[in-house]
Amino acid sequence: MTNNKQKLELTWIGKDEELKLEPRILIEDPEKSYGDKSSENMLIHGDNLLALKALEQDYAGKVKCIYIDPPYNTGSAFEHYDDGVEHSIWLNLMEKRLIVLRNLLRSDGSIWISIDDNELAYLRVLMDEIFGRSNFISNIIWQKVLSVKNSARHLSVDHDYILVFAKNADLWRPNLLPMSEKQKLTYKNPDNDSRGPWQSVSLSARNPYSKGFYEIICPGGNVVKGPPEGRYWSISKEKLIDLDGDNRIWWGKESNGVPRRKVFLKDMKEKGKIPQTLWFFTEVGHTQEAKKESLTLFSKNAFSTPKPERLIERILTLASSEDDIVLDSFLGSGTTAAVAHKMGRKWIGVELGEHANTHCLPRLKKVVDGTDGLPLSESLGWKGGGGFKFYNLAPSLLRKDKYGNWIIDEKYNANMLAAAMCKHEGFRFSPHEELYWKQGGSTETDYIFVTTAFVTVEQLDKIHEEMSGEESLLICAKSFAPECDDRHPNITIKKIPQMILGKCEYGQDNYDLNIIESTEEAAEDQDLTNEDHE
């Protein structure tokens, strides 16, 4: 770690290594998509760094809330996530993904990251670098355990953290929390006020106020010389008289107490509660609650380290509203997507492991059917509905033949190739209904045409006749007549795959940096370290 006058910078082995990510396309698997066929919700199976890159073109600046629960780098082996990795590898794993995640966030969006003490300090500095220190919002403490852990080597760890950053702290504002039933019970109505139950709050404050020091005569005759020593009345005497005239001042049962302001429950219901940074398990659940939920969903194949649905509900309540897009690129057993769905959010979930099929897929089908049987569904009144589409990452566009030459992978049909080339060249794939050569566009007048056929001069001239004067066209072809080069000033023709060689890394399907390291020794340590990470 180095320090200079400008900022604190985190350094590690491999930090400056640049990854040339291939912008893959996503292929829907209609047999696994479920429910409403028009749904925009996405369950993506594949490497999450490549998946995020695949999403970047269409979703940059559109995601309102990102929640991720990455490997904690504890040295513990889990059945589904073995997350003990060398420190610099963990930082590389996170940095590359966080850069793309920031690009996906809306200007008023936020990212929430679950983490523990092992990497909290380093993650905070890394987030300062990527998101900007001024966009740090808070470090929330979540009380994750129900009881003391007697097997702890030193201290029983009761909490994890949720690190919160905004894309732009000047624009981001959290939603207020609805009041709980327990909180509502603290409101009483001792004077039978027609406006209903209320609480009284102090009228004094520490902040100096020019009109905040005066004598008060209570209705019962008692004289209050002024606010407590070192404090000031928070309102002027004229404001106090106005509030008292509207029966919004409480003087105590004998009408001789220090005045307090009445705050009505009906007003608080409309406004909500300011969120705090200490979250107790009584409010948002604990790890045992999460494991019980996982057992309900998956029986003997329960996910080892889930998060409780109530915890995710709290995050999405604060950080999103209905129809906002929520993203989780370490989806685990699907908790974030399930809760987002039940709360009326649009969602995108990415999962590399096979439990995208064994856990996420069946769980989300139950959510759509309204049959997951979890307490949150009951408290939200969720009965089912909606749907999602299941996607796999397309294979790498190029592969080497037996002679070591790069060729287009034969798995790519014409549409897939056109869509892939659109991503490579910065166009949106949107085939025209009538003009075959308009397969995508980057502006209203710039188009792209991708073909594996030999392009002749006659074909080129025919296309040029159909183009308007202000339109331009990029043609990507496997081969073409030499005369096609520079034949028309508004048509550029290039050969594939030569035109994209060297732009990115082909044939790389996994950027998980070998975080899976299942060992018997690590498995035995699971209960002694971190058992609470999803």
Q: Residue 3: inside a domain, yes or no?
A: no
What 422-427 contacts at long range (C-beta under 8 Å, 24+ apart), as own/partner pairs, is 422/448, 422/450, 423/23, 423/24, 423/25, 423/54, 423/57, 424/23, 424/397, 424/500, 424/503, 424/504, 425/474, 425/476, 426/57, 427/474
CATH label of the domain that carries residue 93: 3.40.50.150
Structural domain for 127, as ranges? 28-177+276-393
Provide the CA 432 distance to its chain's centre, in angstroms.
Answer: 34
Measured CA distances, 532 to 144, 159, 251, 499 (Å): 7, 9, 49, 48
| Tokens 């035995």 -> residue | 524
Q: Closest Cα partner for 350 from 380, 329, 375?
A: 329
How many Å apart are CA 534 and CA 528, to the nearest integer? 16
**Which residue, 341, 363, 393, sits at the end of a domain?**
393
The per-residue pLDDT string of the chain (534 residues; one tens digit each, 9 = 90 and over) reads 444 445 567 787 777 778 899 999 999 999 999 999 999 999 999 999 999 999 999 999 999 999 999 887 655 433 444 444 567 778 888 999 999 999 999 999 999 999 998 889 989 999 999 999 999 999 999 999 988 877 778 888 899 999 999 999 999 999 999 887 788 889 999 999 999 999 999 999 988 888 899 999 999 999 999 998 889 999 999 999 999 999 999 999 999 999 999 999 988 766 778 899 999 999 999 999 999 999 999 987 888 778 999 999 999 999 999 999 999 999 999 999 999 999 999 999 999 888 899 999 999 999 999 999 999 999 999 999 999 999 999 999 999 999 999 999 999 999 999 999 999 999 999 999 999 999 999 988 999 999 999 999 999 999 999 999 899 999 999 999 999 999 999 999 999 999 999 899 999 988 875 544 322 333 333 333 344 433
How many Å apart are CA 30 and CA 517, to the nearest integer? 33
Q: Residue 10: inside a domain, yes or no?
A: no
pLDDT (0 to 100) of residue 81: 43
Q: Residue 231: inside a domain, yes or no?
A: yes
Q: How many domains does the chain have?
A: 3
Q: Residue 150: inside a domain, yes or no?
A: yes
Same domain assignment for residues 237 and 222:
yes
pTM, two decimals, is 0.83
Same domain assignment for residues 383 and 317:
yes
